[in-house]
Amino acid sequence: MLRDTRSAVVTLMTDFGLCDSFVGVMKGVVLSRCPGARIVDITHLVPAGDVRAGAFALLTAYRYFPKGTVHVAVVDPGVGSARRAIAARGSDVTFVGPDNGLLSLALRGETSVVVRRIENQRLFLTPVSATFHGRDVFAPVAAYLANGGSFAEVGPETDEWVRLPWPEPTRGVNGWLGQVVHVDHFGNAITNLPNTTLEPASVNRFTLLCGRRRVPVGTCYAAVPKGRAVAVAGSSGCIEIAVNGGNAARSLGLKRGSKVRLVAPG
């Protein structure tokens, strides 16, 4: 039995931008098949084709939505190729997207994950375009699931799906070794060092080393004067490097993969 779709939440996250009609078309497909759906845009400004940036955006956003939300993610440079399409179900959450690692960072934190290959063509729009699976595959499948459709009907279960590697921080002599995993719109460089590596009672004891630069650790961006760099416990759950009123990535030459070291005296 299909559920009351007035409670159905469907999110969209893509690299489509906002200049063209792609996002609106996907919303139209979802609403045509699940008229009561509430559609929320996570972002459509993921850098074009940057699967890892999209995976990070999904990871940091999905937990803040109601139970039962269906998340549609499309950053799909391999659209129309032999890459698979998948739907994944965790604890009270469903993801739909290409099997290129885009969903994998979010799935790392989920328990009892079931992944299915999207192969039931009866759920698709036809004909299926080789350049727009967001419209013809992912949106209609998401609408079907938001409508209470059977997850098993999507396609066969699989354990073979693409997982992006996540660089784990390592413990050093007097601190932690890590790296930048994402640079946001403000130029803040987000690292893989969990906020928990900082001891809240002694934040000021730590220093973050970026190459030859020593960046103090503070409680907020304004803990240092304008134009100065600071490392803070970020909202993503990981330590980030910022410049008060500026762009840390540009000022410090940071990018994804840049090495950092969190050290404490002693």
pLDDT, tens digit, for every residue of 129-178? 999 999 999 999 999 999 999 999 999 999 999 999 999 999 988 889 99
Q: Please state which of the ranges 169-178, 218-227, 237-246 shows the lowest mean pLDDT.
A: 169-178
Considering only residues 111 and 188, tell me which one the structure prediction assigns the higher pLDDT. Answer: 188
The pLDDT tens digits for 68-118 are 999 999 999 999 999 999 999 999 999 999 999 999 999 998 989 999 999
The pLDDT tens digits for 21-32 are 999 999 999 999
In the predicted model, is pLDDT for residue 3 greater than 60? no
Percent of the chain with pLDDT over 90: 89
In the predicted model, is pLDDT for residue 265 greater than 80? no
In the predicted model, is pLDDT for residue 63 greater than 70? yes
CA distance 262 to 87: 38
CA distance 178 to 169: 5
Q: Which residues contact 75 (CB under 8 A, 6 or more apart)?
A: 13, 14, 15, 46, 49, 50, 51, 53, 54, 98, 100, 102
Backbone angles phi, psi at 120, to 5 degrees: -80, 95
Query: Hunting for tokens 């759906």 — which residue is that?
Result: 37
Query: Hunting for tokens 């130029």 — which residue is that?
Result: 187
For residue 98, whether the previous peptide bond is cis, meaning omega lies within 30 degrees of 0, is no
In the predicted model, is pLDDT for residue 242 greater than 70? yes
Percent of the chain with pLDDT over 70: 95
Q: Which residues contact 243 (CB under 8 A, 6 or more apart)?
A: 187, 227, 228, 229, 230, 251, 252
What is the pLDDT at residue 66? 97
Nearest-5° Cα angle at 37, 36 to 41: 150
Are β-strands 9-14 and 38-43 bridged in parallel, bridged antiparallel, or unpaired?
Answer: parallel
The domains of the chain, with CATH numbers, are 5-154 (3.40.50.10790), 170-263 (2.40.30.90)
**CA atoms within 13 Å, Cβ hemisphere of 125:** 21
**Region 186-208 average pLDDT:** 85
Considering only residues 10 and 199, tell me which one the structure prediction assigns the higher pLDDT. Answer: 10
Contact 125, 136 (CB under 8 A): yes
**Region 1-26 average pLDDT:** 87
pLDDT band, residue 187 (cuts 50/70/90): very high
Q: Which residues contact 188 (CB under 8 A, 6 or more apart)?
A: 234, 240, 241, 242, 248, 249
- Mean predicted lDDT score pLDDT of the chain: 94
Q: Is 131 exposed, middle or buried (0-12, 13-18, 19+ CB in 10 A)?
A: exposed
CA distance 231 to 207: 8
pLDDT band, residue 41 (cuts 50/70/90): very high
